[in-house]
Amino acid sequence: MKDRLQFAVMPVVFALTLFVSAGMLFLVEPMIGKMILPLLGGTPAVWNTCMMFFQVLLLAGYCYAHIIAGRMTVKRQIIVHIAVLAFAFLVLPVGISRQWISYGETHPIVTVFVMLLFSVGLPFFAVSASAPLLQKWFSATAHPSAKDPYFLYSASNAGSMLALVSYPILIEPRLSLVKQSQWWSLGYVILAVLTIVSAVFSLRRLSICHDGGKLLESDFGDLPPQCAETGIKPGIRERLRWIAFSFVPSSMLLGVTTFISTNIAAIPLFWVVPLALYLLSFILVFARIPGIIHRLMIFIFPPAVLTLLFFEVSNLRPPILVSFLIHLGAFFIIAMVCHGELAKRRPSSIYLTEFYLWMSFGGLLGGVFNAVIAPGLFNSILEYPLGIIFASLLLPVLNAKSRNSLSLLKRGLLYLGAPLLLGLLTFWLVVEWPAGNLDLSWPDKVMGIDDFDSIITYIIPAALCFSLIFTKRRFLFGCGVGAFVVAAFTAGAWESNIVHRERSFFGVLEVRDKSQGAYRILTHGTTQHGIQSLDPKRSMEPLSYYHRQGPIGQVFKEFSGTKRKSRIAIIGLGTGTLASYGRPDQQFTFYEIDPSVKHIATNTNLFTFLQNCRADWKIVLGDARLRLEAAPDNQYGLMVIDAFSSDAIPVHLLTREALRLYLSKLSEDGLLAVHISNRYLKLEPVLQKLAQDAGLSGRIRDDDADKKIHKYGSTWVIMSKKEAHMGRLAYDKRWRRLEGDHRSVWTDDFSNLMSALKRS
pLDDT digits (tens, 9 = 90+) for 2-25: 566 666 788 899 999 999 999 999
% residues pLDDT > 70 (the chain)? 86
Quick one: 423 and 293 in the same domain? no
> Smallest Cα–Cα separation from 162: which of 193, 125, 187?
187
Task: Using the predicted structure, report yes or no on whether residue 502 has a pLDDT greater than 70.
Answer: yes
Separation of alpha carbons 57 and 59, rounded Å: 5
* Per-state percent for the chain, helix, strand, coil, to nearest 5: 60, 10, 30
For 99, which DSSP code? Answer: G
Query: Is residue 142 in some structural domain?
Result: yes
Look at 121-130, 207-216, 297-306, 645-654 and tell me which has the smallest mean pLDDT. 207-216
pLDDT greater than 60 at residue 226? no
- Position 756 pLDDT exceeds 60: yes
Q: Taking the alpha carbons of 573, 579, 581, 582 in that order, is the dihedral positive or negative?
A: positive
Residue 116 lies in a domain: yes
For residues 700 and 403, the model is more confident at 700
What's the sign of the alpha-carbon dihedral 175, 176, 182, 188? positive
**392 and 408 assigned to the same domain:** no
CB burial class (10 A; 0-12, 13-18, 19+) of residue 423?
buried
Q: Report CA Rg, the chain.
A: 29
Q: What is the residue-wise DSSP string for 110-164?
A: HHHHHHHIIIIIHHHHHHHHHHHHHHHHHHTB--GGGGSGGGHHHHHHHHHHHHH
Inter-CA distances, 627 with 34, 108, 590, Å: 19, 14, 11
**Within a domain: residue 656?**
yes
* pTM score above 0.75: yes
| Residue 574 and residue 483 in one domain | no
Find all residues with CB under 8 Å of 607, minimum gap 6, and list them: 511, 520, 522, 530, 532, 575, 576, 600, 601
- How far, in Å, CA of 419 to CA of 486, rounded? 11
DSSP 400: P
Asked if residue 356 and residue 256 are part of one domain, the reply reads: yes
Would you call the peptide bond into 93 cis, given omega within 30 degrees of 0 as the criterion? Answer: yes
Average pLDDT, integer, range 204-214: 55
How far, rounded to the nearest angstrom, does the alpha carbon of residue 652 sit from its chain's CA centroid?
A: 18
pLDDT tier at 408, thresholds 50, 70, 90: low
Q: Does the residue 752 lie in any domain?
A: yes
More confident residue, 108 or 270: 270
Residue 102 reports pLDDT greater than 70: no
pLDDT attached to residue 463: 79
pLDDT of residue 520: 94
How far apart, in whole angstroms, are the C-alpha atoms of residue 551 and residue 543?
12
- According to DSSP, residue 233 is labeled P
The number of distinct structural domains making up the chain is 4
pLDDT in tens, 165-194: 999 989 999 999 999 999 999 999 999 999
Q: What is the CATH number of the domain that holds 107?
A: 1.20.1250
Q: Which of 48-62, 353-367, 713-727 has the lowest mean pLDDT?
A: 48-62
149: closest CA among 17, 25, 246?
Answer: 17
Query: Does 741 fall in a domain?
Result: yes
pLDDT, position 366: 93
Q: 408 and 325 in one domain? A: no
- Res. 37: pLDDT tops 50: yes
Which letter, b or e, does each residue of 506-525 get, where b requires 16 or more Cβ atoms within 10 Å of its Cβ? bbbbbbbeeeeeebbbbbbb
Residue 288 has pLDDT above 50, yes or no: yes
Provide the pLDDT for residue 547: 95
Tell me how far apart the alpha carbons of residues 574 and 749 are, in angstroms, rounded to a whole number: 29
Over residues 594-622, the mean pLDDT reads 95
Strand 587-592 to strand 567-571: parallel, antiparallel, or no bridges (unpaired)? parallel
Evaluate whether residue 701 is within a structural domain.
Answer: yes
Confidence grade of residue 227 (pLDDT, cut at 50, 70, 90): very low
State whether 180 and 300 are in the same domain.
no
| CA–CA gap between residue 683 and residue 715 (Å, rounded) | 10
How far apart are alpha carbons 512 and 495 in whole angstroms? Answer: 9
DSSP letters, 307-348, are HHHHHHHSS----HHHHHHHHHHHHHHHHHHHHHHHHHT---
Whether residues 310 and 187 share a domain: the answer is no
Domain-embedded: residue 504:
no
**How far apart, in whole angstroms, are the C-alpha atoms of residue 199 and residue 193?**
10
Distance CA 108, CA 101 (A): 9
Question: How many other CB atoms are there within 10 angstroms of residue 125's CB atom?
Answer: 18
- As a whole number of Å, the end-to-end CA separation of the chain is 58
Mean pLDDT for 146-162 is 91
* Residue ending a domain, choose from 493, 527, 562: 493
Q: Which of 434-438, 446-450, 470-474, 613-617 has the highest mean pLDDT?
A: 613-617
* 375 shares a domain with 243: yes
Residues 709, 569 share a domain: yes
609 and 574 together in one domain: yes
Distance CA 636, CA 292 (A): 67
pLDDT-based confidence at 145, cuts 50/70/90? Answer: confident
Quick one: which of 254, 204, 217 has its CA closest to 351? 217
User: Strands 666-675, 636-641: parallel, antiparallel or unpaired by DSSP?
Assistant: parallel
Q: Indicate if 448 and 385 belong to the same structural domain.
A: no
Tell me which residue of 15, 228, 226 sits closest to 137, measured CA to CA: 15
Residue 533 within a domain: no
pLDDT one-digit tens code per residue, 450-500:
555 667 777 888 778 888 887 777 788 888 888 888 888 777 655 557 889
The range of the structural domain enclosing residue 455 comes to 403-493
* Residue ending a domain, choose from 446, 468, 493: 493
* pLDDT tens for each residue of 623-669: 899 899 999 999 999 999 998 876 667 889 999 999 999 999 999 99
d(CA 715, CA 418): 55
Do 175 and 183 contact (CB within 8 A), yes or no?
yes
Distance CA 78, CA 200 (A): 9
What average pLDDT is seen over the chain? 85
Cα separation, 559 vs 728, in Å, equals 10
Give yes or no for a contact between 628 and 643, defined as CB atoms under 8 angstroms apart. no
Query: What pLDDT is stored for residue 213 in this prediction?
Result: 45
**Domain CATH number, residue 651:** 3.40.50.150
In this predicted structure, the answer to whether residue 321 has a pLDDT above a threshold of 90 is no
What letter represents residue 456's amino acid? I
Residues 6 or more apart whose CB falls under 8 angstroms from that of 391 comprise 248, 252, 305, 334, 337, 338, 478
Q: Which pLDDT does position 220 carry in this prediction?
A: 37
Q: Are residues 600 and 741 in the same domain?
A: yes
291: CB partners within 8 A, 6+ apart:
none
What 3 state SS string does 702-757 have?
EECCEHHHCECCEEEEEEECCHHHHHHHHHCCCCEECCCCCCCCCCCCCCCCHHHE
Domain final residue pick, 192, 208, 224: 208
Rounded to 5°, the CA angle 407-479-375 comes to 145
